[in-house]
Chain A
Amino acid sequence: MSTTTMSMTADKPAHLKPVALKTEIAVDMIGVHKWYGEFHVLKDINLHVKRGERIVICGPSGSGKSTMIRCINRLEEHQQGRIVVDGVELTNDLKRIDEIRRDVGMVFQHFNLFPHLTILENCTLAPIWVKKMPKKEAEEVAMHYLKRVKIPEQAHKYPGQLSGGQQQRVAIARSLCMSPKIMLFDEPTSALDPEMVKEVLDTMVSLAQEGMTMLCVTHEMGFAKQVANRVIFMDAGQIVEMNTPSEFFAHPQHERTKLFLSQILH
């Protein structure tokens, strides 16, 4: 996998300076449980993500990977245990939830771009309405990140006119426009044509190289080996195994992990 290093720190306007996390622990999940009705979907999740750490989460479908990272920005509600995001605990307090969502970017499997808005409008919407940024400044920020994901020329098109890979890069740019401290990726390449996967992964790699705190649900094991600090394997709503990528792939300990890896690494 190519590691196209993009020089991001040079000639950067003031409002594009990376925002540092307030605390050393970016995400802290302590004894988190969740149920869908009777179905126990997350069981005793304990996860401490340090600032700047890059974590890849893998596991069979239905193992609760997506549910777990969706709890971090309250797209799903946990019913037991504590989740603390950058020092702010997630409760039912809507103000806190909005505060956390402002600081946590998310990239979805199906992009979830707004089809009635242009690419540029997709990127400026949240800065203008949530951060109250002036429109002109928001457009500067948006163009900056669209250049960064290498599609500034598409700014005035609509999402439906772009390829899947381009749409996913726009989705990443849209999140970055809010200068998030933490980025969540929920299977960002699963819905893409094979030829589009690399352009999205390259963007994610460059983001990782800048020190962004990232939690990625993905089955791209090459990506995991290249950028992850830790790989987490989940099954049946539990964290089964967690290790550095080299150890995880070379010496998986748990039987279920061994089986999973033998299935996906042919």
Chain B
Amino acid sequence: MAIATEPVAHSVAYVRAAPVDTQPPPTLARGWIAWVREHLFSSPANALLTLIALYVVYSVVPPLAKFFIFDAVWDGQDRTACLADGGQEVGACWAYVKAKIFYFVYGSYPFDLRWRVNIVFLLGAVGIAWMLWLDAPRRNLGAFYFFVIFPIASFLLLRGSDTFNIERVDTSLWGGILVTLLVSLVGIVFSLPFGILLALGRRSKLPVVRLVSVIFIEIVRGVPLITVLFMANTMLPLFLPGNMSPDRLLRPLVGVALFASAYMAEVVRGGLQAIPKGQYEGAMSLGLGYWQMMRLIILPQALRIVIPGIVNTFIGLFKDTTLVSIVGIFDLLKTVEATLVDPTWATPVTRATGYAFAAIFYFICCYGMSRYSLAVERRLAAGQKR
């Protein structure tokens, strides 16, 4: 702790003779013991909390590991593999997941056409990676690919087309992870731009635009998603002329997208409100029009602020897609439930294993979104320090 100081000036007048050199900060005690003492046992209360936390970990983690890993059955042809015949304890029946995995991924999509789904998965993975990798080359081309080429190609491949002589596959056969990803991707891709428009509409000076936005947002937000789905299922055909009947998978797709848009609009509005008035005035004084101002100045800043909220909505939307099973769509959770009644795999642990598999799938996807958004936030924060 030797910081050189000049002799203290005792008179009123004082002029510094020599500048004080810059010095490194004093070194603190390092090492893991010091860290543990400082962070985990700094006070009696903290020590107590640490011990309680350790006890909780001790009582939760080993049984879970035992069930899902050490006692789990990894191979087998049918239910007999997962029955506790010899009196040994039986954990998760992963053999059942293995046997049903293709059903979980594709639903009832015809066996010999599943390569088409695989191509769509591949195309989608390329597009998502292109969009999410912020330093990727030709990102505008990537956007065109992801928002134009990919949807058209997916539609032709998944559903088929008579004009291109691709065999038709009815949407009632689609299912599993395919449907879950489809519904959430459509919801995510539509809810952001639509939500932004609604948020701008709600803050518009034009009373009609504002009223329509407010009514839409408040009605959709004030109604449970299940209701929206039922309404989309039964009422959408009523709004459309004559014998036009929208596809039964399209109806919940529209419902989910509209539902997510209303929530997204409120998230974006929060961001818009955080932008100081001076930013609008600066942009206006330069002669930028409304849309230029929004696109170039206001939204880039507003959306950056609400990245956590946007991702939160995406994650919520992703998990809410399980509700489409209510209107008879076979998403992942529904396919899992459908296999539970299969007598070939009826064991006491099948149900727990099936739900655990779905939970792990959802967790990986949502955690991935969460980590990605954190990385983006950190990166954007590094770009501009206020």
Contacts and interface: CB of A to CB of B under 8 A. Distances in A.
Interface in B282-320: 282-289, 292, 296-297, 300-301, 304
Given A125-B286, A130-B286, A174-B286, A112 B301 contact: no
Interface stretch (B83-91, B212-220, B241-249, B378-386): B378-386
Interface residues of A, number: 27
Nearest to A131: B287
Nearest to B290: A94
Contacts of A81: none
A113 B282 CA distance: 7
Interface in A76-120: 94, 98, 101-102, 104-106, 108, 110-116
Given A126-B286, A130-B286, A160 B278 contact: no
Contact of B289 (A98, A104, A112, A174): A98
B172 interface: no
Contacts of A226: none
A253 interface: no
A158 interface: yes
Given A101-B286, A178-B286, 10 more contacts: A108-B282, A115-B301, A116-B304, A125-B296, A126-B288, A129-B288, A129-B292, A130-B286, A130-B292, A174-B286
12 contacts: A98-B287, A102-B287, A108-B285, A114-B301, A115-B301, A115-B386, A116-B301, A116-B383, A129-B296, A130-B292, A160-B384, A178-B286
B281 interface: yes
Contacts of B286: 101, 125-126, 130, 174-175, 178
Contacts of A116: 300-301, 304, 383-384
Contact of B287 (A113, A130, A158): A130
Nearest to A158: B384
A223 to B, nearest CB: 21
Interface of A: 73, 75, 94, 98, 101-102, 104-106, 108, 110-116, 125-126, 129-130, 158, 160-161, 174-175, 178
Interface in B96-115: none
B50 interface: no
A213 to B, nearest CB: 16
Contact of A106 (B285, B292, B300, B301): B285
B384 A110 contact: no
Contacts of A113: 282
Contacts of B289: 94, 98
A174 B288 CA distance: 13
B136 to A, nearest CB: 20
Contacts of B301: 114-116
B344 interface: no
Contacts of A125: 286, 288, 296
Contacts of A111: 278
Contacts of A106: 281, 285
Interface string B204-238: 00000000000000000000000000000000000
A75 B286 CA distance: 11
Nearest to B285: A106
A93 B36 CA distance: 68
A175 B283 CA distance: 11
A111 B304 CA distance: 21
B288 A160 contact: no
Interface string B229-270: 000000000000000000000000000000000000000000
Given A125-B296, A158-B383, A112 B288 contact: no
A168 B367 CA distance: 43
A126 B286 CA distance: 6
Given A110-B278, A112-B278, A129-B296, A101 B384 contact: no
A15 B112 CA distance: 66
A245 to B, nearest CB: 27
Interface string B162-200: 000000000000000000000000000000000000000
A229 B384 CA distance: 41
B297 A73 contact: no
Q: Which 7 A-B pairs have the closest CB atoms?
A: A112-B282, A126-B286, A102-B287, A106-B285, A112-B278, A101-B287, A160-B386
B384 A130 contact: no
Contacts of B296: 125, 129
A160 B385 contact: yes
A211 B53 CA distance: 74
B77 interface: no
Nearest to B283: A114
Interface string B130-160: 0000000000000000000000000000000
Contacts of B279: 112, 114
Contacts of A158: 383-385
Contacts of A101: 284-287
Given A102-B287, A130-B286, A158-B383, A114 B297 contact: yes
A104 B278 CA distance: 17
Given A108-B282, A114-B279, A114-B282, A126 B386 contact: no
Contacts of B287: 98, 101-102, 126, 130, 178
Which of A101, A114, A125 has the most CB atoms of chain B within a 10 A radius of its CB? A114
Which of B287, B297, B304, B384 has the most CB atoms of chain A within a 10 A radius of its CB? B287
Contact of B278 (A73, A105, A108, A129): A108
Contacts of A160: 384-386
